[in-house]
Amino acid sequence: MESIIQLLHLEDNPTDSLLVQSLLKKANVRFNYFFADNEEDYLFILRNHTIDLILSDYHLPSYSGAEALLFARRNYPNIPFVFLSGTMGEDAAIESLLNGATDYVLKNKMERLIPAVYRAYKEAQETKARQKAEDELRKLSRAVEQSPNSVVITDTEGRIEYANPATLKLTGYTSEEAMGKNPRIFSTHEKTREEYDFLWETIQSGKEWKGEFHNKKKDGELYWESASISPILNENGVITHYLAIKKDITESKQLTTDLINAKEKAEESDRLKTAFLANMSHEIRTPMNGILGFAALLKEPDLSGSQQQEYIRIIEKSGARMLNIINDIISISKLESGQTNLLYSEINVNELVKDLHDFFRPEAQQKGLYLYLKNSLPDSKAIITTDKEKLTAVLTNLIKNAVKFTKQGSITIGYKLNPSKLLNEDGTLVEPDVLEFFVKDTGVGISQENKGIVFERFRQGSESLTRNYEGAGLGLSISKAYVELLGGKIWFESNPEVNSGENGSVFFFSIPYLPVLEKHDTITNTKLNLKSIDMIKPIKILISEDDETSDLLIAIMLRKFNTEILHAKTGIEVLGILQENPDIDMILMDIQMPEMNGYEATREIRKFNTDIVIVAQTAYSLSGEREKAMAAGCNDYFAKPIDQNMLNDVIMKYFNEKTV
């Protein structure tokens, strides 16, 4: 026996104590000996030392072996207790065994002492080892049961023998449903046969396999797991089971996917920004080149009248192109910042479409294109409520693109009414009827690889520097946003570069059909046009403008009227001039001026003059500018650049002698 036995001997006879020690030494038992001949020493030794075995006499002068056994069993149940007595009868021995004694040895048969000690100690050690193993097993079992990760044990054929609560909770299966099944019940079957073969080859060779599974729950929901699968070996090194420990990584997998997508999106955004900046540089510098270049040429002497008119035409065309780019960028900015509002009014769709047809017909004819118009409603049913500006912008963009991308053939503009077929139980419409507009062309079409980017911002069919068509690539993005604001949708069909009558593109969009019932059969155009300079009474106008070029332009436009013109560069100058000239009829009030802006100046003027006509004129065209101008006290508003017709209309509106 290699271990040292910590032996407590409860005995009142010193001779018997020496005899016991002598017998143990002769048998080569390694031990440490503790002696007690009374209750106090007995209890003290038990409480202060680790004891492996208790030997006890049955009868002691002041303490009995039965009491010692009872105390030991209550407080130290794992310490073997052997009675060693010369006066212990058969009945007492049996009773002691029943009360928890391990064995008993009569003093007249001391040859039984050593075997009894060995047996008691061995059984105690085995019991202790078994309890330790059971404790470890219980600890391991609790760890597996309480583990947040999935733990699955299968036999060597892959049939499930155990699945912990985390597995059942994650997959939605009950223990009864999972037992005996192959883990394939969780599989989405995305892994190839070769991957599964490699997995089995790895674990059957005694090695660990690590990887990921895209699995499926009982209800069909998909999830991701990282898994470690390894063999369980018996004492002979033979594989008896397989252990799979798996962790749900769905969230981390999604996070990784989101990060990758974000990275790709950022890279794509960076690429688009680069392409957009290159495009914007081209789109802005090109018309600027035309404006500045031909403006310089106008200074050359000996230009013929026709040359001057041609140069002016080019400058006007370049300016219009520049203004279109600026307007598109402003529109995108409004949409991006949520400042685009809908302004509903009554319009005649037939008149709107016809006006656009008439406007684009000269440009189409100049390219040799036929421009057709198809209306489907009579005027009495073509009056609807919508945002005229947004609807006009969408149609304008689509027609402009059709003309731009069509080299030969025709363009057809039109619409039709699509009645809603979805009804409530009471017969009312679930959703309104829709007007479906279309612009069809026989142009170059849209390639398959570019169909997905047509409505994206800053995109055209190509971002290369060798594009054949001008434009910032904003029109369709703006159109899509406007259509969706109006409660509709936009789509297209295209067959690029097909040598048949089916080539080209058709762009469709729909908006709710909100007819105006029992109203006018037609809507007349109420735009005021200047018919005669004689109809305007003499007026005195103050131009409030800090930009000399804009001031000069307005003054030149006003020359045809019977006007006296004054000039101010700041809001403070406006107030001073008006105090000295109370007979001023109208102020063209620039909003952005130094010292005092146009809003502040207008509010100050309204404190002492409520009759003078004040028209705000500003380079700002963001949402709410008109409302801010009116709130400050202005009578009217227009956004720069100012053209002659715009100025004519506002003067005619307020100073036509027939309306004053």
Predicted confidence (pLDDT) per residue in 458-496, tens digit: 555 444 433 445 555 678 888 898 999 888 999 998 876
Q: Taking Cα atoms as reference points, which of 511, 494, 510 lies closest to residue 502?
A: 494
Which among 26, 24, 53, 71 is positioned nearest to 122, based on CA atoms? 53
Ranges in the chain, pLDDT < 50:
461-468, 498-501, 519-532, 658-660
Closest CA to 412 of 511, 507, 510: 507
Q: Which two tokens stand for residue 594?
A: 């130094």
How many whole angstroms separate alpha carbon 405 and alpha carbon 364?
11
pLDDT at 51: 93
Where would I find the beta strands (DSSP E) of 359-409?
370-374, 383-386
In this prediction, residue 600 carries a pLDDT of: 93
Residue type, 575: L
Q: Which pLDDT does position 351 carry in this prediction?
A: 93
Tell me the torsion sign for CA atoms 423, 424, 429, 434: negative
Question: What is the pTM (predicted TM-score) of this model?
Answer: 0.43
Give yes or no for a contact between 153 and 181, defined as CB atoms under 8 angstroms apart. no
For residue 281, the model assigns a pLDDT of: 66
Q: Domains in the chain, please, with CATH?
A: 5-141 (3.40.50.2300), 147-248 (3.30.450.20), 254-335 (1.10.287.130), 341-512 (3.30.565.10), 533-655 (3.40.50.2300)
pLDDT for residue 445: 83
Token pair belonging to 642? 């100012």
pLDDT at 555: 87
**Concatenated DSSP letters for 178-231?**
HTT--GGGGB-S-S-HHHHHHHHHHHHTT--EEEEEEEE-TTS-EEEEEEEEEE
CA 339 to mean position of chain CA atoms: 23
Q: Could you report how far apart the first and last alpha carbons of the chain are, in Å?
A: 129
Buried b / exposed e over 408-434, threshold 16 CB at 10 Å, is: eeebbbbbeeeeeeeeeeeeeeeeebb
Two structure tokens written together for 179:
């037992």
The predicted-structure confidence for 279-322, as pLDDT tens digits, reads as follows: 666 567 767 877 888 888 888 888 888 888 888 888 887 787 67
Structure tokens at 238: 């033979």
In this prediction, residue 621 carries a pLDDT of 56
Count CB-CB contacts under 10 A for residue 89: 11
Look at residue 326 in the predicted model and tell me its pLDDT.
Answer: 74
- Count other Cβ atoms within 10 Å, centred on residue 142: 10
